[in-house]
Amino acid sequence: MSYAYLFKYIIIGDTGVGKSCLLLQFTDKRFQPVHDLTIGVEFGARMITIDNKPIKLQIWDTAGQESFRSITRSYYRGAAGALLVYDITRRETFNHLASWLEDARQHANANMTIMLIGNKCDLAHRRAVTTEEGQQFAKDHGLIFMEASAKTAQNVEEAFIKTASTIYTKIQDGVFDVSNESYGIKVGYGGIPGPSGGRDGSSSQGAIIVSFVENYGEEKWRKYGELIYNFMVY
Amino acid sequence: MQEAELHDLSDDADYAASQQEGSASMMRCYSSKLSTSSETEGAEIVYLKDNVAIHPTQYAFERISGRLKLIKQGSALFMTWIPYKRQSTNAKLSEKDRNLYTIRAVPFADVRSIRRHTPALGWQYIIVVLSSGRNRLAFPPLYFYNGGVREFLTTIKQHVFLVRSVEDTNVFLLNDFQNPLQRTLSSLELPRAVSIPSMPSTPALPRESTSHENQERTDVGISDVSASIPQYNGKRRQKFHDPARDISIQVLEKFSFVTKFARETTSQLFRESHGNGFRPLERRKSNQSDDYSHKPSDDAEGVAVQSPVAPDPVEVYVCSLCQLIALCNNASAHLSMESVLGHGPTGTWFSTSIPGNLMPTSILVEQKVPYREHNRDGEAATNVGTFELISYKEFDKLSLVWGKPRQPPLGLEEWATFLDSEGRVVDSKALRKRIFYGGIEHKLRKEVWAILLGYHTYESTYAERKHQRSIKKTEYETIKSQWQSISPAQAKRFTKFRERKGLIEKDVVRTDRSLSFYDGDDNPNVNLLRDILLTYSFYNFDLGYCQGMSDLLSPILFVMEDESESFWCFVALMECLGPNFNRDQSGMHSQLFALSKLVELLDNPLHNYFKQNDCLNYFFCFRWMLIQFKRELEYEKTMRLWEVLWTHYLSEHLHLYVGVAILKRYRGKIIGEQMDFDTLIRFINELSGRIDLDATLRDAEALCICAGEKGADCIPPGTPPSMPVDNGLLYSQQDEVL
């Protein structure tokens, strides 16, 4: 799969807040409550489209238990975005946000975009953290905020995509030097649409590009892709 | 008398037989020279020891005793070991066996090192490693039944330059021309065809034509080899190469233990091709500078550009064995090898081209001179002549399989043979060995795991085990009642308990739920997991509960099918693996550290790769170590691996070698694709479910044996699953979260 950009995401937060479920809902569009608990790290990936450009999200889903923090810290390196998750029905998971944030600030690059997610908002009747508290925390720490439910899929897509478009805007604004991969961004095919729009289906344009890459290789695509793309557009 | 002895040597029936069979072309050179000159100069036996034996197999009746002699002739010292003629001990010993092992007049000029081994139990033995430039050989261990190792070494010291290694006091070095002047002088000496004793350990001139051919080759593995030659020589010049630190020598020493089968195979090969009488040493021209100045371009670009993947040192050696056997099995005479893996005075032991532990080459299989048409198949110039290369692609196929073939699992009937009438395990070592090589049939696991894990002792009888079960059941219930009796009102004031319970409850419903044993709503086995873990967190309150424990408990409950039994087996397992779950991760850090040291020892290029790419924390192996590959293998295979690990048969840290084995299996891909930390960790994660356990275990066994004591030294004391040092407090935890 080719992409204009690849963003590395990391999902962090206390154990049992629903990190893996959010990932699964985003990548597979399903909710599976009985998956195995995460040891170390698990991975997911999905293509999204922002500003008509295919962007690949490579998502690191980490283990939440306190003991594993020292390992988790090594995963921040080169992450462009982070989803910091708490469980709205468990107050302590909200209380621990500050320490997660501290880890993130310390071990990730300063421009990492952080999305705060209050998960399990389908369980409103057991709510232990109000929406306002979440909003306030996000505001205080310069985070984007959403409440979501991995179970009902509410806001899951939005959370991942909103994070990506924030990163994308930062690229457009020149905040990142995209040639430096330590920002968690990789450029594919010179930042123009790749051969496929990913799971959103490939357009006929995409199909042409796929065949070009298959026949002439990525190298040539980088060289001539822009030209071909312009030709197709006009 | 002394002269008579010497004549005995050449008149020896074995020797005559070997001449007929032609199993030692090189030997003929030494011996004829020796006997010829003895007529003029005379020879003196300076050391003689009877009852020095070799152990071709583990069986006592197959041991071969013989007489070890040191013979001085002129300024040269020779060593011989001649097995006794058919008598007393081993009637089974065939003439062929005797020829196979006989050591006939090896000049000490060819000896690189002697390692002395002093086992706590058993006889002292030595391993003699030869050095013929890049061609090194190791003789099988010589066991001194009547003592005399010290005297042997003392005698040698009186006649030749012998120094004790700085690194390892049990290693004695010979002919190590550390002093550049001395080396230069020695390289000026005449070729050995003229003067036997003064063989310099210097590489010879490569053939120009072949080096040009190599330059044009595109095959990565092949250019790699030729490129490594100058680099190797450069290194050797700069650095005193101490065999004690040289893994290649150690591996060679290990190979000196290889099975009789392999030796016979080698010998057979050697005999088949012997008639041509080609001796590489005759072509040697001692011209060191030419050797390392050839193909200078390789230094500049060849290494980096053409050979991204440094060859695997151990694989090179291990593959040499595989290749050897493969060649024997392949009747095709197409290659018509002069010999495989180099020559030696006896033509039987193993030799590889070893440029130290830094940049080993591919296996070089020597090619006969007349077969020039093979050049297109790849040749490399080396000091010993022209070699045909076995390309790395072939190695991939052969891969790293050296450990003994896996056996079928231990079954009920065979299990009964390990027990006496009252149920005691008669020979625990034999049992552990049996399980190490085959595992246990599932229906038998319940009974054997309890013993392997140490819940029951090997010496316990059926009755004692039954008795213990009932006592332990009561004990378990007592501990369990401690948390069961906590009232809701008490729990409200007991945060640590609530948190622990909540965490365990969250995790047991996320443990192996895809297995029918644990699936479905309100599965009683899930509740058992919870109860056992919670009880354990009270039994070992300091350690508490940590994620990963449910993964370790799950197969135990699945096998034991009993709450109390599972608990106590889990307790026994955690006695060893508990430190993996230390809050400060100290246990895991020592695991990963040990793993990195083992890779450094067993695959230096891979280690260097990790180092360069900032991957030395080995976090990519975290899950492997924490839960002992449970997430990497299918459930049944996990149980198989665990019971093998629990035998502690070769090492209590076999799981580390399993880790090294897997990394080595994919080393080509890891280095070839220039994986960075992120890519590597994803790659390793994706190996889950794709690991061939049997092959990996065989690799691990081979690596464990190869690493030997050096490997054990890599593992810091207390690294799980070492039994904890009993110093009162087992776990000193900070009173933090849980």
Query: What local confidence, expressed as pLDDT, does residue B724 receive?
Result: 45
ipTM of the complex: 0.81
A66 and B623 within 8 Å at the Cβ level: the answer is: no
Domain-located, residue B427: no
Q: Region B179-198: what's the mean pLDDT?
A: 35
State the nearest Cα–Cα gap between A34 and chain B, in angstroms.
5
Q: Do A39 and B503 touch (CB under 8 A)?
A: no
Q: How far apart (Å, rounded) are the C-alpha atoms in residues A88 and B555?
A: 34
Token pair listed for A15: 């154990």
- For B380, how many CA atoms within 13 A lie in the half-sphere containing its CB? 24
Q: Are A67 and B583 inside 8 Å of each other by CB?
A: yes
**Region class of B277: left (phi > 0), else alpha (psi between -120 and 50), else beta:** left
Distance, CA of B543 to CA of B579 (rounded, Å): 8
pLDDT of B222 over the 50 cut: no
B129 strand-pairing partners: B113, B138
Q: Residue B722 — pLDDT band, cuts 50, 70, 90?
A: low
Q: What is the mean pLDDT of residues B223-231?
A: 36
- pLDDT of residue B359 exceeding 50, the answer is no
In a domain, B210, yes or no: yes
What's the CA gap between A42 and A213, in Å, rounded?
A: 30
The total of structural domains in chain B comes to 4
Encoding tokens for residue B21? 């069979």
Q: What are phi and psi of B324, to 5 degrees?
A: -60, -50
Given a cut of 60, whether residue B191 has pLDDT beyond it is no
Among B304, B114, B327, residue whose Cα is nearest residue B220: B304
Q: What is the pLDDT of residue B314?
A: 57
How far lies A198's CA from each of A46, A54, A55, A57, A224, in Å?
A: 7, 7, 9, 11, 22
* The pLDDT of residue B530 is above 70: yes
pLDDT at position A166: 95
Q: Which domain holds residue B667?
A: 586-713
Q: What is the pLDDT of residue B94?
A: 64
- Co-location of B15 and B112 in the same domain: yes
Beta-carbon contacts below 8 Å between A and B: 72
Interface test with A, best of B616, B623, B632, B679 (most A CBs within 10 A): B623
Contacts of B106 (CB under 8 A, 6+ apart): B30, B78, B79, B80, B128, B130, B345
- Give the nearest chain A residue to B550 (CA atoms): A37
**How many CB atoms are located within 10 Å of the residue A169 CB?**
13
Mean pLDDT across chain A, nearest whole number? 84
Percent of chain B with pLDDT strictly greater than 70: 57
Q: Please say if the pLDDT value at position B268 is more than 80.
A: no
Residue contact B682–A43, C-beta within 8 A: yes
Contact A93, A119 (CB under 8 A): no
Instruction: Check residue B309 and give its pLDDT.
Output: 67
- A17: closest chain B residue by CA: B506
Chain B residues contacting A via beta carbons under 8 Å: 503, 506-507, 509-514, 519, 546-548, 550-551, 581-583, 585, 588, 617, 619, 622-623, 626-627, 631, 677-678, 681-682, 685-686, 736-738
Q: Tokens for B333, please give them.
A: 């005479």
Return d(Cα B229, Cα B603) in angstroms, integer: 19
Cβ count near A50 (within 10 Å) = 17
Best of A8, A37, A99 to disrupt the B interface (most B CBs within 10 Å) is: A37
Comparison of pLDDT for B109 and A94, the residue scoring more: A94
Least confident of A112-116, B288-292, B535-539: B288-292
- What CATH number did the domain enclosing B548 receive? 1.10.8.270
User: Could A71 and B619 be called an inter-chain contact, meaning their C-beta atoms sit closer than 8 Å?
Assistant: yes
pLDDT of residue B670 exceeding 90, the answer is yes
pLDDT at residue A164 greater than cutoff 60: yes
pLDDT at B202 over 60: no
Q: Chain B within 8 Å of A182 (Cβ-Cβ)?
A: no
Of all residues in chain A, the one with the smallest CA distance to B585 is A67
Output B132 or B309, whichever has higher pLDDT. B309
Nearest CB to B617: which of A16, A42, A74?
A: A74
Whether residue B652 is predicted with pLDDT greater than 50 in this model: the reply is: yes
Q: How far apart are CA A34 and CA B638, in angstroms?
A: 21
- Is pLDDT at A61 greater than 90 in this prediction? yes
Task: Tell me, yes or no, whether B110 lies in a domain.
Answer: yes
Cβ B588 vs Cβ B510: under 8 Å: no
Distance CA B557, CA B512 (A): 12
User: Average per-residue pLDDT in chain B?
Assistant: 70
**C-beta of residue B351 within 8 angstroms of C-beta of residue B34:** no
With a CB cutoff of 8 Å and minimum separation 6, the contacts of A138 are A116, A144, A145
| Residues B454 and B520 reside in one and the same domain | yes
Q: Are residues B645 and B554 in the same domain?
A: no
**Chain B partners within 8 Å of A78 (Cβ):** 678
Q: Do B626 and A39 touch (CB under 8 A)?
A: yes
pLDDT for B504-528, tens place per residue?
A: 999 999 999 999 999 998 999 999 9
Q: How confident is the model at residue A109 (pLDDT cuts 50, 70, 90)?
A: confident
Which residues does residue B54 pair with via DSSP β-bridges, in sequence order?
B64
Q: DSSP for A177-197?
A: -TT-GGGSEEE-GGGS--S--
Across residues A43-62, what is the average pLDDT? 94
What is the DSSP annotation of B330-375? ----SS--S-SS---SSS-S-EEE--TTTS----EEE--TT-GGGG
Q: Look up residue B255 and give its amino acid.
A: F
Say which range, B85-99, B277-291, B560-574, B608-622, has the weakest mean pLDDT: B277-291
Residues B442 and B370 in one domain: no
Residue B153 lies in a domain: yes
Task: Output the pLDDT for position B64.
Answer: 82
Residue B260 lies in a domain: yes
The band of B551, judged by pLDDT with boundaries at 50, 70 and 90, is very high
Over range B132-144, report the average pLDDT.
70
Same domain, yes or no: B146 and B100: yes
Comparing B49-63, B249-263, B493-507, which segment has the lowest mean pLDDT? B249-263
Under 8 Å between Cβ of A58 and A26: no
Q: Phi-psi bin for B728: left (phi > 0), alpha (psi -120 to 50), beta?
A: left
What number of CA atoms fall less than 13 Å from residue A99's CA on the CB side? 13
pLDDT the model gives residue B717: 79
Q: pLDDT tens-digit profile of B233-243? A: 333 333 444 44
Question: Is the pLDDT higher at B191 or at A184?
Answer: A184
Residue B700 and residue B606 in one domain: yes
Report DSSP state, residue A208: H
**pLDDT at residue B277, rounded to an integer:** 36
Q: Is residue B650 part of a domain?
A: yes
Residues B263, B346, single domain; the answer is yes
Model confidence pLDDT, tens digit, residues B27-77: 333 444 444 444 445 788 899 998 898 877 666 667 788 899 999 888 888
The model's pTM: 0.61
B423 in Cβ contact with B431 (< 8 Å): no
- Can you spell out the DSSP letters for B600-628? HHH-HHHHHHHHHTT-TT-GGGHHHHHTT
User: Is B627–A39 a contact, with Cβ atoms under 8 angstroms apart?
Assistant: yes
Task: Give chain A positions within 8 Å (CB) of B624.
Answer: none
Q: How far is CA B183 from CA B194, B200, B283, in A?
A: 19, 8, 20
- Same-domain status, B218 and B325: no
Considering only B21-25, B124-128, B243-247, which range has the smallest mean pLDDT? B21-25
Distance between the two ends of chain B, CA-based, in angstroms? 82
What number is the average pLDDT over the span A139-145? Answer: 97
Q: What is the pLDDT of residue A223?
A: 57
Residue B417 lies in a domain: no
Q: Is A32 on the interface with B (CB under 8 A)?
A: no
What does the pLDDT read at residue A187?
A: 78
**pLDDT (mean) for B688-710:** 90
Per-residue confidence at B102, pLDDT binned at 50, 70, 90?
confident
Residue B360 has pLDDT above 50, yes or no: no
B139 secondary structure, DSSP code: P
pLDDT-derived band of residue B20, with 50, 70 and 90 as boundaries?
Answer: very low
Q: Find where tokens 């195995």 sit.
A: A36
Taking CA A228 as the corner, what is the angle to CA A226 and CA A229, rounded to the nearest 5 degrees?
Answer: 65
Say yes or no: B25 and B161 in one domain.
Answer: yes
B188 lies in the same domain as B213: yes
Encoded tokens for B79: 């060593």
Mutate one of A67, A76, A126 to test the B interface: name it (highest B CB count within 10 A): A67
In this structure, the answer to whether residues B186 and B227 fall within a common structural domain is yes
> Could you tell me if B385 and B479 lie in one domain?
no
The mean pLDDT value for A32-44 works out to: 91
Q: Which CATH number covers residue B704? A: 1.10.472.80
B89 within a domain of the structure (yes/no):
yes
Report the pLDDT averaged over residues B680-690. Answer: 95
pLDDT digits (tens, 9 = 90+) for B592-613: 999 999 999 999 999 999 999 9
Mean per-residue pLDDT, A50-79: 92
**Residue B400 pLDDT class (50, 70, 90 cuts):** very low
